[in-house]
Amino acid sequence: MTPLIQIENQGGVRILRLNRAEKRNALTHEMYEGLCQALDEAAADASVRALVFAGSETAFTAGNDIADFLSNPPQDDDAPVLRLLARLPRFHKPMIAAVCGPAVGIGTTLLLHCDLVVAADDARFALPFVNLGLCAEGGSSYLLARRIGDARAAEWLMLGDLMSAADAHSAGLVNRILTAADVLPQALRWAQQLSAKPPAALRATRALLRRTSRAEAEAAIKAEADVFRELLQSDEAKEAFAAFLEKRPADFGRFT
């Protein structure tokens, strides 16, 4: 397991903490591998009753590390990021997210697979895929509209603007807003409450809540991945990433 993913157990609760604070927990190929392994281990371990995703008090995750992403693009379904996304709708235990600071890209789409989300008042959410010449991922083309409605989903996915914690709460993506110092303790309280409940009844209730969305989410993840890989090779994406790395505005005026 990579040291960039820290694992901690508190009773029946397992905490997966992103540990790359100097890069605002931007995710690398290695970190996706670690998260896949951690999810598999949590799913197989009967002592784990609930899972908590966390970053630091200043950053949940800034999304993909762009340089690492371009060095290790997701070329097929065996890419670690795509294996992680495929696991999320299949994970059968409660998942809770503790979000402080930026939650960019997968930092927001991950939340659509969680059962409860607590966010800091300074949390910021963004889905900048179109701005990078790409498309939605993580099943968000389906799950986001299901969660917050078509109009807001179009705004979030097509404009790619930063959304505040208040925006996310009013839209229904976040359950509760607290100060940064209180976010992880609240997530752990929820997780401990869930871990003390009858496990079969809890899993059954969770499955019933998701009975109409799991297959659709899995289909969306697969369809998005196919389009994402195609767009990643496009001139638009090359311009977007070059502009990002060169810290200049992207120019899409020549594209039709």
In a domain, 82, yes or no: yes
**In this predicted model, what pLDDT tens digit does every residue of 216-250 receive, in sequence order?**
999 999 999 999 999 999 999 999 999 999 999 99
Q: Is residue 106 part of a domain?
A: yes
Domain count, the chain: 1
Asked whether residue 45 is domain-assigned, the answer is yes
Give domain status of residue 41, yes or no.
yes
Taking only the tens place, the pLDDT of each residue in 55-78 is: 999 999 999 999 999 999 999 999
Mean pLDDT of 164-185: 98
CB-CB contact of 70 with 241 (8 Å):
yes
Rounded Cα distance between 229 and 200, Å, is 38
- Domain assignment present for 36: yes
Work out the number of other CB atoms within 10 angstroms of the CB of residue 34.
Answer: 24
Residue 38 belongs to a domain:
yes
Give residue-wise pLDDT tens across range 78-99: 999 999 999 999 999 999 999 9
Instruction: Look at residue 207 and tell me if it is in a domain.
Output: no
Q: Is the pLDDT of residue 1 over 80?
A: no
What's the half-sphere exposure (Cβ side, CA atoms, 13 Å) at 82? Answer: 19
pTM of the predicted model as reported, rounded to 2 decimal places: 0.96
Annotate 62-94 with DSSP letters as a single string: --B-HHHHHHS---STTSHHHHHHHHGGG--S-
CATH number at residue 160: 3.90.226.10
Containing structural domain, residue 26: 5-180+195-199
Residue 189 has pLDDT above 80, yes or no: yes
Separation between Cα atoms, residue 20 and residue 113, nearest integer Å = 23
